[in-house]
Amino acid sequence: MSFTSSTDSSGGSASRIPDRPQDSRRDDDSLWSWNGILHAAIPGNSWQQMLFVAWRALLLVIRDRGLLATMVAQPLVLGLLVCLTQFAPGGIAPLAFFSAVITIWLGMNNGARDLVRERTQYVRERLAGLHPEAYLGAKWCVFTVAGMVQILLLLIVLRLGCKAILPEMHYADLRMPIFFVVLSLCYQGGLAFGFLVSTVVRTEEAAVAALPLLIIPQLLLSVVATGHANELYSKPRPCKPLVVTLTSEQELPVAARLVDGLSLLCFSRPATLLLEAPGVKGYGRESIVHR
């Protein structure tokens, strides 16, 4: 910051007045000015910038012991609670449903506060030449890797815990490769929701307050919440496979039809059906349902 001298008309001593800071780039591309403070510009193309931001974000997660412990504990504790509460599920539908909801929650929780927390820093780096796609791509990669680790921990707990509570015929339906793929997609959907919230709200508190509005409908607009989880798909019930819902007619109360329609907007419905892989007569498998 430079200064200029001025002398008042009465002959008083000169005073030093700071120049007005410039909020624009300097002629030198290696430096830029923001609020009168010089910073080094962020060099490289989008890929190089993405690696830089990803490495920094990874270090921040690793160095924050509390955050790291929470991210590890969440899938372990929640997976254990699922195993303890589903001691008589009658099938894998409740386990599949709660696994999907937990994974959606992990994605939302990981992404909801991150962008809004670094908004000021992002503005500075954006002025320094950071590409938006590099920043968002780096965040997505870091939290995707973190989410895959969380999903693996969740599946380990479910695999060990469900062996003690499920009959052998249902335990064989826990196809872990399929579970990993479907839960990974659920996590990506939750992470996208979290990032969306984080870009819209202004504070971390608002982001946290918005999470229940996103996750609770996944719980309530479901076959488990309505109590139809163990009913055959050949009977009138909401949350059937989509091909059955669209091509067949069934008599349902108004509330059940409303829930059936709104559940199409939730990630938990298709995820549960993919994990359960029900066989419905006339659709796919040649049996009414495998339970």
Q: What is the pLDDT of residues 241-291, one digit of tens each?
A: 666 666 666 677 788 778 877 887 888 877 877 777 665 554 444 433 443
In this predicted structure, the answer to whether residue 38 has a pLDDT above a threshold of 50 is: no
What's the pLDDT score for residue 108? 94
C-alpha distances in Å from residue 265, one per residue of 11, 241, 260, 271: 76, 14, 10, 12
What number is the average pLDDT over the span 32-37? 42
- Burial class of residue 185, CB neighbours in 10 A (0-12, 13-18, 19+): middle
Output the pTM of the full model: 0.75
Share of the chain above pLDDT 70, in %: 70
Lowest mean pLDDT segment, chosen from 98-102, 121-125, 173-177, 196-200: 173-177
Kindly report the backbone phi and psi dihedral angles of residue 172, in degrees, each rounded to the nearest multiple of 5, phi listed first: -70, -20
**Per-state percent for the chain, helix, strand, coil, to nearest 5:** 65, 5, 30
Does pLDDT of 78 surpass 50?
Answer: yes
**Quick one: tokens of 122?**
């992002």
User: What is the pLDDT at residue 193?
Assistant: 92
Q: What integer pLDDT is reported at residue 289 of this predicted model?
A: 41
Name which of 53-67, 141-155, 159-173, 240-254 the model is least confident about: 240-254
Q: Is the pLDDT of residue 201 over 60?
A: yes
**For residues 223-249, average pLDDT:** 70
**What average pLDDT score do residues 19-33 get?**
44
Q: Are 158 and 82 in contact (CB under 8 A)?
A: yes
User: Does residue 99 carry a pLDDT above 70?
Assistant: yes
With 0-12 CB in 10 A as exposed, 13-18 as middle and 19+ as buried, what is 4? exposed
Cα separation, 225 vs 58, in Å, equals: 38
Nearest in space to 43 (alpha carbons), one of 35, 34, 51:
51
Q: Which residue has the higher pLDDT, 139 or 245?
A: 139
pLDDT at 278 (0 to 100): 62
User: Mean pLDDT for the chain?
Assistant: 77
Confidence of residue 33 (pLDDT cuts 50, 70, 90): very low
Looking at per-residue confidence, does 82 or 162 come out higher?
82
d(CA 195, CA 207): 10
Query: Beta strands 37-40 and 3-6: pairing type?
Result: unpaired
Q: Higher model confidence: residue 203 or residue 251? A: 203
